[in-house]
Amino acid sequence: MPFEDKKKSRVTLVDVARRANVSRATASLVIRKSPLVGADTRARVEEAMRELGYVYNMGAARLRAERSHTVGVIVPNLTNPFFAELLSGIEAVIDSAGMVVILANSGDLVERQDMVMRRMREHGVDGVIVCPAAGTEPAFLHQLADWDLPLVQVLRQISEEVDYAGSDYAAGMRQAVDYLASLGHRTIAFAVHGPIHSAYRERVEGFCDAMQSRGLDPNMIVGLPIQIGEIADAAHLLFGEGEQPTAVICFNDVIALGLSAGLYDRGLKVGENFSLIGFDDVTDAEAMRPRLTSVSTGPVTIGGNAARLLLDRLADPIRPPRRVVNETVLHIRQSCGPVAISALQQSR
């Protein structure tokens, strides 16, 4: 008897076709929801699929159809909540397009990024969303494009010739500076850390431009450690010799959280006699005390934009490159206050 009830091998399209009394080709059309098949045939095939517990074999399909329904995502760091939120935004959009995300971590190292990118190609991803590691050369991205690998840069823009999704960091900096200036602050520090890349430069330039256009000195830029635990202990770096700042703008919320702790340790009251603005507005900002005033860059939104950009490019590989830059929003909470009288007098 040709019966084979016990778990033998996997159920394939041939099994389904046989069961439904149609050919392999017709069964294939049913799966792909082609309008070519008749209604009753379709029903019969679907019934057979259900009865046999058929599972589509994407791998086999991809081989022939050159579409893997798979998207690579490369981030420099997973433990930073900002990237986790970005990833979440990407995943949601990719998922709802019926595709899956293959994840990789570059550790912000170009060599690892090379490796990982190669692996993505081997796995035949349809496209890649990458937050380029610091130091990535434009040539690297161009080569990938030459290899016909659809690509989107996210957060950091290396090349103008490749799609990009990010946020308007410079405008965000202007919002922060304007707000502090409106509270009377004139000596404002900028606390930074981390590797240098386009997002870094954009923020620094945004800060400097905003300061200069108000006639303020943009040169109080302070470098801090990467690890959040060490940032607090480095808060004293804000107060070197010369003029003392009455407010600080942070490169990101990690720094803001760290400095908030460090300023507390020094006996300063954030929001009262010292002002602090974060950047990114991660969910923790709401939970700090005083609540952190922060420039929201919307990582989930950026992720979604990047994913949509990639889907669009998949649909039309030769469209010219696009930039999708979302607006930042200044979220005013409690960590800033009017400049203290004493500080004003000090700076005279």
In the complex, which residues of this chain contact a second copy (CB under 8 A)?
7, 55-60, 62-63, 68-70, 73, 78-79, 81, 83-85, 87-88, 91-92, 95, 100-105, 116, 118-124, 146, 148, 228-229, 231-232, 257-258, 260-261, 264-265, 283-284, 286-289, 291, 300
Q: At what angle do helices 24-31 and 39-52 cross, to 10 degrees?
A: 90
* List 47, 50, 51, 65, residue binding DNA (CB under 7 A): 65
**What would the x/- binding string for DNA be over residues 194 to 213, using CB under 7 A?**
--------------------
Tell which residue, 165, 202, 167, 171, has the closest CA to residue 324. 165
Quick one: which segment of 26-34, 78-86, 179-187, 258-266 binds DNA (CB under 7 A)?
Answer: 26-34
Establish if 29 lies at the interface with DNA (CB under 7 A). yes
Of the pair 34, 342, the CB lying nearest DNA is at 34
Distance CA 243, CA 78 (A): 38
Quick one: which segment of 34-42, 220-228, 311-319, 328-336 binds DNA (CB under 7 A)?
Answer: 34-42
* List 47, 56, 227, 286, residue binding DNA (CB under 7 A): 56
How near is the Cβ of 189 to a second copy at its closest, in Å? Answer: 19
Instruction: Classify strands 293-296 and 329-331 as parallel, antiparallel or unpaired.
Output: antiparallel
Distance CA 159, CA 157 (A): 6
Quick one: which segment of 8-16, 214-222, 319-327, 339-347 binds DNA (CB under 7 A)?
Answer: 8-16
For residue 249, the partner it binds in a second copy, DNA, none, with Cβ less than 5 to 8 A by kind, is: none
* List 1, 3, 8, 9, residue binding DNA (CB under 7 A): 9
Of the pair 6, 348, the CB lying nearest a second copy is at 6
Establish if 63 lies at the interface with DNA (CB under 7 A). yes
Of the pair 170, 295, the CB lying nearest a second copy is at 295
* List 18, 41, 237, 329, residue binding DNA (CB under 7 A): 41
Max Cα–Cα distance, the chain, nearest Å: 100
Q: Which of residues 211-250 bind DNA (CB under 7 A)?
A: none
Tell which residue, 53, 48, 56, 57, has the closest CA to residue 19. 48
**Residues composing the chain:** 348
Establish if 69 lies at the interface with DNA (CB under 7 A). no
Distance CA 173, CA 159 (A): 23
Establish if 78 lies at the interface with DNA (CB under 7 A). no
Establish if 314 lies at the interface with DNA (CB under 7 A). no
Using CB under 7 A, list all residues that contact DNA.
9-10, 12-14, 21-26, 28-29, 31-32, 35-38, 40-41, 56-57, 60-61, 63-65
